[in-house]
Amino acid sequence: MHVLTALGAALGIWAIILTYDGYFQWALWVMAGSVFIDAVDGTLARSLNVSEVVPSIDGARMDNIIDFVTWTVAPLFWAYAALHIPAWVLMVCAFSSIFGFSHTRAKTTDNFFLGFPSYWNIVVFYLFLLNLPIPFSSGVLLLFAVGTFLPVKFVYPTKTARLKPLTITFGIIFSLQLLLLIYFFEDAPSLLIYSSFLYPVYYFGVSFYLNLKPV
């Protein structure tokens, strides 16, 4: 299973190379592949007791390193190439993300993310789909960068117990919508774009609600 996890690193580099070569849509497909691996490798590893079979490899550390590449470096580089976001804005985002990934409580004991969980690939893709002005897009990115440092819990979709079945169901629908949006890319229908916002609204709404009304 460590091989499957490590494949995410290769996909992250591939996405950066595709972005550099101007294949922006293909880069998104590759990033989507890395997200899929990230979604399933942990569950598979636990079911196969990989930590006991291969104790010399720290799967959690490997996962964090790869996540920084696939969820932060690759999408921020994509934003620079495809959206022409100023480099300093992306540097601030990367700066904030590394603190988020290295925080000892980035994933809390009650299975939440602490602070904005660096969903940069989703954020920059929506900035592209909405064709927002560069200054406005930069402001959105900086806002999320600040969110990385906030002591606010965000739902961990596959682990947070509260409303987990509903979160996963909506998450699957949202994932299918994202795949369709990547497929249509520049020609994505407005109805598909705006209807896909239902899950982010649900996600942030539930996260903030659970912060106000903890178990």
Q: Answer whether 120's CB lies under 8 Å from 78's CB.
A: no
Q: Answer whether 179's CB lies under 8 Å from 32's CB.
A: yes
Q: Answer whether 207's CB lies under 8 Å from 152's CB.
A: yes
pLDDT bucket at 8, cuts 50 / 70 / 90: confident
Tally of CB atoms within 10 A around 165: 7
pLDDT bucket at 27, cuts 50 / 70 / 90: very high
The pLDDT, as a whole number, for residue 123 is 97
Q: Could you tell me the two tokens for 106?
A: 């980035």
Q: The pTM is what? A: 0.91
The pLDDT, as a whole number, for residue 200 is 96
Mean pLDDT for the stretch of residues 62-68: 88
Mean pLDDT for the stretch of residues 57-70: 83
pLDDT at 148 over 90: yes
The pLDDT, as a whole number, for residue 141 is 98
The pLDDT, as a whole number, for residue 52 is 57
pLDDT bucket at 46, cuts 50 / 70 / 90: low
Q: What whole-number distance in Å separates Cα of residue 182 and Cα of residue 171?
A: 16
Q: What is the DSSP letter of 189?
A: -
Mean of the per-residue pLDDT values of the chain: 90
